[in-house]
Structure 1
Amino acid sequence: MLVFDVFVVQSKGAGISGASVTCGEVAAMPQYLNLQPRFDRSDPTHATDDPREVDRQRPLREAIDVPARKIISIADDYRAAPREEKSHLAACLARAIVHSARNHALEGADSPTDQFYRSWIILQVAIAYLKAQPEIDEIEESVEIREWFQRNATALMEFQARGVEVAGRNNHYFWNGIAVLAVGLVIEDEALVDYAREVRDAGLSDISSDGLLALEMQRGHLALHYHIFAAEALAGLMLLHPDPVLPWQSSAIRRLTNAIIESIADLSGGPIASSAEVEQSPPKRLVPLHVLVPFLDVGSPEWEIIQDIIKDVPPHSRYLGGNLQFVLCRPQ
């Protein structure tokens, strides 16, 4: 049953009144995550889940995912709502986020898996905030939210400074970077935006001449899946970052996109399967291909192929904060 309560919005400015607002209840995300890898440890490629670990960790992950999905949903409702409903939804969104901020959500992240999850969730919630930022910034509670974002972004950078020496620049490095970028945009912190710029450029530099990412090639039959996952983060970094896209950056993401397209078309003989020396499993998610489209020439063979692949795939990625139109339409 959906529980309703009343959230009194304390306005900092004239943008939102001080009236009570009735919102659907959104649970606070936990401070401590207690997550561990779910893969079968006998598989060196980490490409096989252990069903027992999946079951054991389901409630732990749902305690994080369910509130995050509700936050994303409110933000997308805000974007689609008529003007007269936006203030109400912005207040509900602020209420949902501040509930977790006051619980110090995610700040007890400890294990590497905790940190990976933290980056995904902070990214989702920060993009949700960006969708309604002009109005949320006028709410008194936005100060607490911004401070919470800052603490989590700082912790993510500190973790990555240690982790990259061990794991290298894999997809987690890119997701860490885009999470920090989204926070930097929310709190207008140029140091965080600069950090993300370094991550973006390092990631794009890692794309080989044939469009592959060496560390994602280590994932066996899921190498294609993880190339798509990494590409989603890299493309998101390029689309969200205020820098204009440079020719070398566009060339790199296009090489990666072409390798992915060719590998989807030929799971056993495409470039990723050939390099990994194992047939690839069908991708778990095709949604990320939506954010690769802007880097292809309209009408080109690659553009036509990718359009055909995604024609029945809704442009909605929880990793990039829900409806992708916001990310795809950010001004460059």
Structure 2
Amino acid sequence: MVKRLTLMISLALAGASAMAACEAPPPARIDIDANSYYSDAHHSVIDPVLRARNIANTKPIEDFLAQVAKDANAGGDAACALSWLTSWGEQKAMLGKLSSEQAYYVRKWTLGGLALNYARVQAQATPAQRTVIDGWFRTLADATMAHSDAKKGGRNNHYYWEGLAVTSVGGVTGDKRYLDWGRKVLEHALGQMAEDGSLPAEMERAGKALHYQVFAATPLVFIASILDVHDPRLDTLVAFTVASSADPSGIARRTGFEQEPVGSREVTMVYNRHEGKAPPPRGKALWQPRMGGSLDVPNPLEHLK
């Protein structure tokens, strides 16, 4: 009995020590102040002054996501990640005033990243933490869908990233409503795609057309994996994206602009796992907080073949 009591005390002290090792979460950002930073009609030329202003204003949110990702992945501290998520969830972070369309972009990228990182540590959350975090994510997903559905005009990569954010919330909460909305986004994107696999809205981005083709394909392959969707149109999309990344000359001729070189491993890493294909050639470790941290390690929400 004494030994058992001693063990219980030791475990409790160890847990308290681990909690003490976590840095206190920063005050939640309720409002989001962000601004667009392109200076041309194609949204392809960056204004460095506007870009710097946007980075400075959104840094607290980006830093929060980066730290959660660090703690949620291998070598981090799951208890710290959950503590930070609970803190911002209790304060209803990112549910205040959003200054611009760019602010909505920041919110959906952050929501998707937080949900995907949460998926890695969700099993270690207490019931109370799950109630707070899941409820916060649902509210953010509802706000994301409401804003997206109210928008008029064309749908481009931003719609697809909204789809990933909402689908990821569906994955961690088990709420079919969010999964169905993500399925609608994926279907819409594949319906927009040209026969060769290019995405017309992204081809309008002048010298950044290749960049945005890759940027748009990335959330789509992740949505497909979470929903376990296999679609030959997605195969065409990925094939075009990978080939264009290796040789941008086709897009350059199409757009009349030389293309910035962009790799496609973020696309193929997730896509190949879902389709049971060999992983892409090894290279620098892929780390993207907006996609759950380490892309080299499958996310619990992915369906692997």
Give the TM-score normalised by the residue count of structure 2: 0.86
Separation of aligned partners in 2, 1:328 and 1:37 = 34
- Which of 122, 136, 145 lines up with 2:133 in the alignment? 145
- Tell me whether 1:159 sits opposite 2:138 in the alignment: no
Deviations 1:232-280 (A, max 9, x none): 0100101122xx333xx1x21221222222222322x22x223223221
8 Å CA contact 2:157–2:202 kept in 1: the answer is yes
Deviations 1:105-150 (A, max 9, x none): 11123421111111110111111111111221x3413212222111
8 Å CA contact 2:33–2:57 kept in 1: the answer is yes
Separation of aligned partners in 2, 1:175 and 1:187 = 18
> Could you say which residue in structure 1 is the equivalent of 2:4?
none
More helix as a share of residues: 2
> Could you say which residue in structure 2 is the equivalent of 1:228?
214
Separation of aligned partners in 2, 1:113 and 1:130 = 26
Give the superposition deviation at 1:61. 1.5
Structure 2: gaps (5+ residues):
1-10
Q: Matched residue pairs, number?
A: 288
- Which of 267, 270, 273 lines up with 1:291 in the alignment? 270
Opposite residue 151 of structure 1, the aligned amino acid is T
Separation of aligned partners in 2, 1:98 and 1:297 = 36
Separation of aligned partners in 2, 1:133 and 1:234 = 23
> Could you say which residue in structure 1 is the equivalent of 2:41?
44
Separation of aligned partners in 1, 2:258 and 2:112 = 32
Opposite residue 129 of structure 2, the aligned amino acid is E
> Could you say which residue in structure 2 is the equivalent of 1:107?
95
Separation of aligned partners in 1, 2:111 and 2:159 = 14
Percent of aligned pairs sharing the same letter: 25
- Tell me whether 1:266 sits opposite 2:247 in the alignment: yes
Q: Which piece of structure 1 moves more, 189-198 or 278-287?
A: 278-287
Shift in alpha-carbon separation, 1:121–1:17, aligned structure 2, 3 A: farther
- Tell me whether 1:94 sits opposite 2:82 in the alignment: yes
Opposite residue 291 of structure 2, the aligned amino acid is L
Structure 1: gaps (5+ residues):
1-15, 82-88
- Tell me whether 1:195 sits opposite 2:181 in the alignment: yes
> Could you say which residue in structure 2 is the equivalent of 1:72?
69
- Which of 290, 310, 319 lines up with 2:290 in the alignment? 319
Separation of aligned partners in 2, 1:329 and 1:240 = 5
Opposite residue 71 of structure 1, the aligned amino acid is V
8 Å CA contact 2:119–2:299 kept in 1: the answer is no
Deviations 1:54-77 (A, max 9, x none): 222222121110111000111103
- What is the alpha-carbon root mean square deviation over aligned residues? 2.4
- Which of 208, 220, 235 lines up with 1:254 in the alignment? 235
Q: Which piece of structure 1 moves more, 257-266 or 142-151?
A: 257-266
